[in-house]
Amino acid sequence: MCFFRLLGIFTLLVLLSSCVTNPETGKKSFILISEGQEAQLGAQAYQEVLSKSKLSHRKDWNAVLQRVGKRISEAAHRSDFQWEFRLIDSPEKNAFCLPGGKVAVYTGIIPILKNEAGMAAVIGHEVAHATLRHSGQRLTANLGTQLGVLVLGQVLAQEDSQDKRLILAALGLGAQVGVILPFSRANESEADEIGLRYMARAGYDPYQAPKIWERFGAQEKGGPALLSTHPTSDSRKQKLQELIPEVLPVYEKSPQWGVGVDFTP
C-alpha cells in the first residue's frame, strides 16, 4: 500500500474517531472506529458463529439464559444495544458477547456455572466486555493504520482472509470461529469488576462469582481456562472476593433473585 493511501486512511480514522469516556468506569479510551461500526462488525461475526454452530434446544437452560440475559442487559443500562442470547450445543467451556449485545453461551460451561447466579456472573463479565468496548480497543491496537473504517464491514463478508482473521481475533473470536481468544489482563480484570456490578444490580448473589473461578480452577490442570488463560482463576477469585463488599449495597437494594435455578441434577 502506497504512502499516500496509508496517509489518507490514517487521516480518515483520526477524523472519525474520538476519545471515548465510559460512563461505568469514567475511563477514557482512544478508539478508531465508531460504536455503530463496531456493532455492525459484531452482528456480522455473530451470524457467522451461529451459521457454523449447533444451537441447543434445551428449553430449561434456554429459559434461564433468556431471563438472565434480560436482567443483566437491563443492569448494563444499554437499551440502544440489540441484545440477543443464544445457547450453543458444544462441550466448550466458553461464552462471549460481541459488540452491540450479541451473546452466546456454550452448553459445556453449564455444569461449572452450577446455578442461575453463576450464569449471571459469566453473562455479566461478557456483557461488560461489550459495554466497555474492549473489542474496539483491540481493533484499534491491532489494525492501526492498516485498514480503513469504510472497509472493515466488507472484510467479514470475504470467504477467508488474513484481514478477516485479524478482525475476528480483535472482536474476541479466534481463527476457528467460536473459540474465545483472551483479552488483555487489564481488560479481563475490568470486565470481572464491572460484570460483578451488573450481576449485583440484577439481583443475583455476588458471592457466587468467585465460586465459579474456584470450580474452574479445580479443572484447569492441563486444560484451557474459562474466557482467558490469564489472569489465573485463583487471582480472579481473590479479586472478586475483595470487590464483593463494594457491590453488596447495590445487591441489597435490588429485587433479589439470590442463586436462582440450580443446574445440577
Q: Which cell numbers in the block locate residue 178?
A: 467460536
The pLDDT tens digits of the residues spanning 28-68 come to 777 777 888 889 888 988 998 999 999 999 999 999 999 99
Digit-by-digit pLDDT tens for the chain (265 residues) are 444 454 445 445 554 445 677 777 777 777 777 888 889 888 988 998 999 999 999 999 999 999 999 999 999 999 999 999 999 999 999 999 999 999 999 999 999 999 999 999 999 999 999 999 988 877 776 655 344 443 454 555 555 555 555 555 555 554 333 333 445 778 888 999 999 999 999 999 999 999 999 998 887 654 444 444 457 888 999 999 999 999 999 999 998 899 999 997 6
- The tens digit of pLDDT for each residue in 102-117 reads 999 999 999 999 999 9
Residues tagged active-site:
126
- Domain chopping of the chain, boundaries: 34-132+182-253
